[in-house]
Every structure is written in C-alpha cells, then in structure tokens.
Structure 1
Amino acid sequence: MLFAVSGLLGCPVEAGDGHVGSVKDFLFDDRSWKVRWMVVDTGHWLPGRQVLIHPSAIAPLDLAPARRVLPMMTTGDTPVVSVRLTKEQIEASPDARQDEPVTKQMETDVYDHYGWDPAWGTTYFGASDIASPLLEPLIFSENAARQAADRESHRSEGDPHLRSFVSVNGYHVHATDGDLGHVENFLADDVNWDIRYLVIATRDWWPGKHVQLAPFAVKDIDWSEHHINVDVTRDQVKSSPAWDPLALEDQVGERQLHRHFGWPGYGW
C-alpha cells in the first residue's frame, strides 16, 4: 500500500510495552531509493538520544481509506506507528547523540544489536549495487594502523548515500527543457519501504497541478544546489495521465503512467 511520507511525521511511535516518542524523519538510500531508517524523537524519555528503527521492525500501517483526504493523510485522526520492539530493547540500543551524522559504523552497530538483516527487502533501482550496502567491506587496507584510522573515519563521517526526507523535501526539479517545480512529498510502499514516486508541485509553471514521477526518471541529484534533474520534458508531464491523490492504490493508473513515460513496472 502506498502512503505519503509526510503524513507520518510527528506521529506517535508505540513499542509493544508503551510509548517511545514520535516520528522525526525518514532516511533513505539515494541509490536504491529504499527507506533505511525511521528516526524517532524520544522526547523526555531518552533526552539527547537519536533512535533509529529499521523498517522491518515497523508493524503494518493502519492506512484506512477514510484517512486519505487532501492534503494527503493530514487529518485530525493521527495514525500510530507501532514497532515490534520493547522499550528495554530500544533503550539498550547503541548510543547515538541527537543530530549526529549517521555513519556506516553506527548503522552496523544498530543492525548487530537488534539482529536485523542489512539486505532486507528488495529494490527496483540499482539492485545489483545496493542489495546490501553494509556488507561492503568498511576497511580495505591490510595495514593495522591504517585500519584503525579508517575505522575512526567511518565513525565520524556520515554515510554519503543516506539522505533525509525532511531535507530533500522542497528540492527543485528540472526537466530536460526547463523547471518543473519542487518536491512536495514522497509516496512509499509500506510493505517493502521503497520510495515509489516523488510528488512534484508545479505551481510556478503549471499552477494548481501536482504530478508524480518515479525515481526511474531521475538522472542525477545536485546535493549542493538542492535540485533534481529528471529525464522527462514538460510536454511529457503535461500529457501524462492525471494523478488523483485520493486513489493511491489505483494500479491501472500506475500502469498507464509507467507506459506513458516508458518506465518499468513495480513487479506487475
């Protein structure tokens, strides 16, 4: 089932034995477009801590059709994100300070603590390169001193392929023949936890319209300039099937959209 990522920000997070905080952000891999972590703000329970929850530990979301009203899941009925963990497990997880960069070493420590599989899930984007990013050797040198230095570097530098939804939301999007607009949301799959579509607001170019583009269209991302280049034209976007945000599960509409742009399907 597809859901709007922004609709979960700020939602309460419940462990099996009680409240643990609220959703602060989601971190995704910029090669596989998979959500790798949910970042939880634990408030006064674990002050100053950054808690990472892997998607495989998140229970199926309650995304009833009644919640799907504009503007995409922002209703008074706030969904609860349940995780298959206990408060004791979360409290004993590897310590990471709030707002510290998430390093590969930090991710490895969290995977080891919970016994989670770094290769969990499948991806439709760059599967051969990113099936298991943490299974790549972190240390390549055989020299013991160099190994120690590299290990310390991995502890202090953030994973360069891990991106924040909150940070990327709002990036400008450029077609091959001009600006399209800016990213207003991501649509993700709550089973596989991959980002299926970028929701683009075109109000500066095509007032009142929103379009959805799959990551298949993304040519490259300029992280320093905060913009995304896509391999489509404005005319292609204008002539694409109309998008209805109230019909996130319309597979017929998805197939039409993918045929229009020449994208592969998502397993259908």
Structure 2
Amino acid sequence: MLHNAKEMEGYAVGATDGVIGHVKDLYFDDEKWVIRYLVVDTGGWLSSRKVLVSPIAVGTPDWEQRLLPVSISREQVSNSPDIATDKPVSRQHEMIYSGYYGYPYYWGGGGYWGGGMYPNLMMPGYGGFGTSLASPDAGHREPARQEHEHDDPHLRSYNAVVGYHIQASDGDIGHVAGMLIDEQTWAVRYLVVNTSNWWLGHEVLIAPQWVEAVNWLDRTVAVSMTRQSVKDAPTYDPEAAMSREAEDQLYQHYGHVGYWTDHPIRDTEISRV
C-alpha cells in the first residue's frame, strides 16, 4: 500500500519501552528514491533533540493510530550518535550510526537495501540480505569504511523538496505537493504534483523514474513529458486508496512498464517484523 509522506508528519514513534517522539521530516535517497531515515523530534524527555530512525528498525505501522513501532529502546535512542539534522548527513555519520545500532550498510547492493528490497530484512539476525560491505565482522567493515567514508549519500529532506517547481518539456506544470511511499520497501513511488496554477484542483502523479533531472539550487524538477500529456493523465485523488489498476492506467498513459513487473514481491522477502 502507498501512503502520502505528508500524512506521516506527526506520527508517534514507539520504541520497545515507550514513545520516543514524533516524525518531523523524512530523508530520502535521490539516486534510488527511497526513504533512508525518519527525523524524529524527541520532545521534552530529550530536550527536543532530533534523532534519526532508520526504516530498518520500523515494524508494521499502525496507520489508524498514527504510530510507527520501532525495535529499539528509549535508552538506545538517548545514547545514539548526535547527528545535526539541520545539516547534510555525511557517509561518515551514516557509518557511525549503522555501527552503533549494528545495522549492515544499505549501500553497495543491487536492491533498495543492500542486496534486498525490504529494510527490515537487514535487521541483525536476519542475515543473507546485506552485501559484503555490510558484514558485521570488523575485518570486513573496516575496508568498507575506508572505501566509502567520503561517499556522497545523496540524502535530501522531504520537507525541503515540497514546493519544487515541475518543468515539462514545454513549460512549467506545477509544483511538488507530496510523495507516495511504499509501506513495505519505503521506496518513493510517486511525486504528487499540484497543477492548480494551470488546471484548478488538479493533482497528478509522476514516478521518480520519469524525472530527467533535479536542480537543487533552482528548486526545479525536470520531466520528459509535455504539459498536455500531464494534463491528460489520470487525476490523483488523495482520498482514495491507490490501487494497482489505477497505477497500471497511469503507467499505460505514459507508455512505461510498471515497477511491479521489475521487482515482484516474493513471499520470502515480505517483512514480518
């Protein structure tokens, strides 16, 4: 199922021994278009310190109660590495973070999360879904750390991207109003585009795979389709659940093959945390 990232803001994050705070932002990877971290405001118990929580630790969300359960404790969060969430998160910070929680490195594999598609399968104890870079053995981690500590992790703030202008091949068509997130993989499946400056009350969806370029300085997103093709695309209804039939119609409209045909869900990969 897909959920609008906007709805996740304010969700409570429940540790194994109590709530640790509420979601304030999401960091996504602008290469693979997947959510890498929740930015959680811890409120009074940690002097409103903001901490990062990886989807690796997130269990089955309770969408009705607006609760994201995580398999870490309040004490772990309290003692977690201090990372300034108002500044870019470096690969070194990520390595320190992963080392503290005992997580494999998510980068370096062919999937969204190491060699697999689902973050929870990278939890310590699952095994088999990380990459050679993710081995918990210090002998393997040290060469990986030295090789990748200066990488650009390509992390971007969801809140910062909302409002970016969308440029079609023949002119502007609107702005980013949200993102639809896959609740199993945490992949960004669609940008929600508000076109109300041109077509009143009209929202459409554009998959990240159809984005040609993102100019972070100019706050623009360039896409390969024309304004008319976007206008003729199926309208997005935020009040209705996004069905596979609706997704199929959208992909057919733009002449693309659905992502679900490239990454079919296999029973052995489904998260059951």
Q: TM-score range by the shorter chain?
A: 0.7 to 0.9
Hey, what's the Cα distance between the residues in 1 that align with 2:31 and 2:232?
A: 28
2:95 aligned to which of 108, 121, 130: 108
Matched, 1:84 2:77: no
Greater relative contact order: 1 or 2 (C-alpha under 8 angstroms, separation 6 or more)? 1
Matched, 1:185 2:178: yes
1:95 aligned to which of 56, 60, 82: 82
Matches within 5 A, 1:244-263: 244-263=237-256
Residue number in structure 2 paired with 1:162: 155
Hey, what's the Cα distance between the residues in 1 that align with 2:49 and 2:181?
A: 26
Hey, what's the Cα distance between the residues in 2 that align with 1:11 and 1:63?
A: 9
Hey, what's the Cα distance between the residues in 2 that align with 1:161 and 1:97?
A: 16
1:129-168 per-position Cα deviation (integer Å, ceiling 9, x unaligned): xx98x8795656xxxxxxxxx97xx5xxx94611000000
The answer (yes or no) to whether the contact 2:182–2:188 under 8 Å persists in 1 is yes
Hey, what's the Cα distance between the residues in 2 that align with 1:207 and 1:234?
A: 15
- TM-score normalized by the length of structure 2: 0.78
Deviation at 1:95, TM superposition (A): 2.1
Hey, what's the Cα distance between the residues in 2 that align with 1:163 and 1:193?
A: 15
The sequence identity of aligned pairs, in percent, is 40
Amino acid at match of 1:111: S
Hey, what's the Cα distance between the residues in 2 that align with 1:110 and 1:87?
A: 16
Q: Which runs of 5+ in 2 are unaligned?
A: 117-129, 135-142, 262-273
Hey, what's the Cα distance between the residues in 1 that align with 2:38 and 2:186?
A: 11
Deviation at 1:115, TM superposition (A): 1.7
The answer (yes or no) to whether the contact 1:49–1:97 under 8 Å persists in 2 is no
Q: Which runs of 5+ in 1 are unaligned?
A: 65-77, 141-149
SS of the aligned residue for 1:109 comes to: helix
The answer (yes or no) to whether the contact 2:29–2:153 under 8 Å persists in 1 is no
Hey, what's the Cα distance between the residues in 2 that align with 1:123 and 1:99?
A: 25
RMSD of the alignment, in Å?
2.7
Amino acid at match of 2:255: G
Amino acid at match of 1:257: L
Moved over 4 A (4+): 134-140
How many residues align structurally?
235
Over 3 Å counting, the alpha-carbon distance change for 1:119 and 1:97 in structure 2 is closer
Over 3 Å counting, the alpha-carbon distance change for 1:40 and 1:79 in structure 2 is same
Matched, 1:214 2:207: yes
SS of the aligned residue for 2:46 comes to: coil
1:198-221 per-position Cα deviation (integer Å, ceiling 9, x unaligned): 000001111110001111210000
Matches within 5 A, 1:232-247: 232-247=225-240
Hey, what's the Cα distance between the residues in 1 that align with 2:231 and 2:86?
A: 40
Amino acid at match of 1:112: G
Residue number in structure 1 paired with 2:125: none
Residue number in structure 1 paired with 2:111: 122
Over 3 Å counting, the alpha-carbon distance change for 1:102 and 1:50 in structure 2 is farther
